[in-house]
């Protein structure tokens, strides 16, 4: 199953973003620290490179990501020209406050009342742009919700006489090239639920967790190591169903895998499973080099 999600309003959002980019000094790209490259919109890169704009990459939700992997991503981005990266959590008030000074380092020529620093914040839906803006401005100016594509229009704010920031709507791209990216985005709730099958997304997530974080799975759902080692991804979702009592009434004890899938996805999204990263620089490079087979689905069983 290939996951695609490109709501109609995003076409006009992209056009408006291109126009605003021409008047911008630094692009602030907000990423999900658990999947930095999968959550990076290639259109944003194309737009900023066409205008030769430097980029500050904010690896948000770092409190939910594997800290060792996050550091590997910071090192990876630090080697890219015109790019600075920092790990933040918008839940920590001080993290957002550091951002304007970091942008200033990328555009030192913009530092007076005649030529104020103009920043533009971009990113895909539900990576925390609105939460970041509220934290930066220390007031609620952007709607926040646990659904992607809450913000629908651009807003401009003066931080001082020397600094201006423009908030933009979450922007997806028309075609997600790699199936794994679509599944990672869906698992992290950057894609609307109407475009995905939760059980398939949960099975994909379970496969990653089983391979990289089996101890966290075992601890959360109270499964012994020997039993865990014998399971596959579908077995993980079935185990969650049994452990959480997800049974379809009147169906002879049939497991409710959709309900179990949402439990697993919610535990991951909220951090109940622990600090987890879905991709590393190494797994990303391997995926791009070798390609990725479609993720298993319930229909394959």
pLDDT of residue 148: 46
Give the model confidence (pLDDT) of 24-72 as tens digits: 999 999 999 999 999 999 989 998 999 999 999 999 999 999 999 999 9
The CATH architecture of the domain made up of 197-300 is Orthogonal Bundle (1.10)
CA gap 33, 26 in Å, rounded:
20
What pairs with residue 119 in β-bridges? 26, 165
Structure tokens at 77: 């981005």
Please tell me if the domain spanning 9-167 has the same topology as the one spanning 197-300: no
Report how far residue 70's alpha carbon sits from residue 85's, in angstroms, rounded to the nearest whole number.
Answer: 10
Torsion angle of alpha carbons 9, 12, 13, 17, nearest 10°? 180
| Intervals of the chain under pLDDT 50 | 145-149, 293-301
Give domain limits for the chain: 9-167, 197-300
The architecture that CATH gives domain 9-167 is: 3-Layer(aba) Sandwich (3.40)
Q: What is the dihedral of CA 196, 199, 201, 203, to 10 degrees?
A: -160
Between CA 229 and CA 98 the distance in angstroms is 44
């Amino acid at each position: 199953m290939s996951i695609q999600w490109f709501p109609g309003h995003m076409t006009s959002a992209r056009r408006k973003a291109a126009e605003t980019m021409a008047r911008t000094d630094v692009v602030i790209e907000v990423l999900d620290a658990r999947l930095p490259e999968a959550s990076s919109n290639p259109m944003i890169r194309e737009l900023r490179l066409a205008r030769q704009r430097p980029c500050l990459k904010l690896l948000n939700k770092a409190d939910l990501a594997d800290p060792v992997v996050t550091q590997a991503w910071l090192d990876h981005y630090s080697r890219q020209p015109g790019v600075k990266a920092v790990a933040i959590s918008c839940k920590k008030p001080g993290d957002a406050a550091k951002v304007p000074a970091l942008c200033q380092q990328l555009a030192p020529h913009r530092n007076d009342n005649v030529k104020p620093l103009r920043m533009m914040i971009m990113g895909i839906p539900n990576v925390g742009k609105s939460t970041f803006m509220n934290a930066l401005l220390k007031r609620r100016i952007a709607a926040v919700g646990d659904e992607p594509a809450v913000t629908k229009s651009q807003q401009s704010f003066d931080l001082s006489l020397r600094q201006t920031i423009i908030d933009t709507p979450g922007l997806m791209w028309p075609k997600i090239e790699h199936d794994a990216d679509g599944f990672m985005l869906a698992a992290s709730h950057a894609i609307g639920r109407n475009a995905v099958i939760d059980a398939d997304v949960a099975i994909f997530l379970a496969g990653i967790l089983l391979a990289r974080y089996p101890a966290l799975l075992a601890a959360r759902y109270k499964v012994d190591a020997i039993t865990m080692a014998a399971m596959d991804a579908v077995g993980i979702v079935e185990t969650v169903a049994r452990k959480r009592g997800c049974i379809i009434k009147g169906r002879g004890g049939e497991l409710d895998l959709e309900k179990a899938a949402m439990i697993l996805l919610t535990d991951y999204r909220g951090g109940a499973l622990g600090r987890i990263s879905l991709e590393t620089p190494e797994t990303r490079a391997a995926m791009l080099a070798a390609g990725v087979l479609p993720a298993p689905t319930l229909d394959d069983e």
